[in-house]
Amino acid sequence: MDAKILIPVKPHIKKYLEIQFGQLIVVSMRGYVPLLLLKMLQKFAKKDPGTVRPSQKLIDNINYLGFPVYIGSSIYNKNGAYISNEDLKKFNDAVDDMIHDELYRWCHHPNATDMVVDYNIQRFLDFYGFSEDELPFGNVKRWYYRERERMNDRTKQIEPFTPTVTIEYSEEPKGKQAKVVQMVAAPVQFALGF
């Protein structure tokens, strides 16, 4: 048995998902969003009929809109079709983070048509059709500059990397042509005193 459920998403997230996936997300092992939904699925509790499908209480068509998700029969039988309200809010936060990460990449793309950040941010918002009410330009711009500052700070603090354990992969036949992973430990210094 397969299932089609509605999950509550914020309006700008719905626009993003519609451009990325169309009118429906198919839960699968491929892609970040479908895999994230797969990991959030739970079997319903037989004593609580409210856990058969995700709660529709969050969908008020103002703050949250419904977005359809298709769950195939094998995934439905193995994982169920229930997603808790906490997980739905975490899903919205995760996709919102994806939008911000994509905005940062959009502004730093080597083939960007303009090097002025304001124009790139506005083009990004226009591309996805985000309105000023959903994602205010001023908030997005402040987020971008904070993220750029964090990225610059991280690149300044990089220390040289020296591995303490080296793992070598070998395809030498052993037994029935099994692949063997050999661990060759370099001088290991444990911080815990072992």
DSSP 11-74: HHHHHHHHHHHTT-EEP-SSSHHHHHHHHH-BPPPTT-GGGSS--STT--SSS-EEEEEEE-HH
pLDDT at site 153? 83
In this prediction the pTM is 0.73
Residues with Cβ within 8 Å of residue 158, at least 6 apart in sequence: none
Neighbours of 150 (CB within 10 A): 10
**Which portions of the chain are predicted below pLDDT 50?**
176-194
pLDDT per residue over 21-46, tens digit each?
999 999 999 999 999 999 999 887 77
pLDDT at site 187? 41
SS3 assignment, position 7: strand
Whole-angstrom Cα distance, residue 103 to residue 126? 12
pLDDT at site 8? 92
pLDDT at site 127? 92
pLDDT at site 170? 67
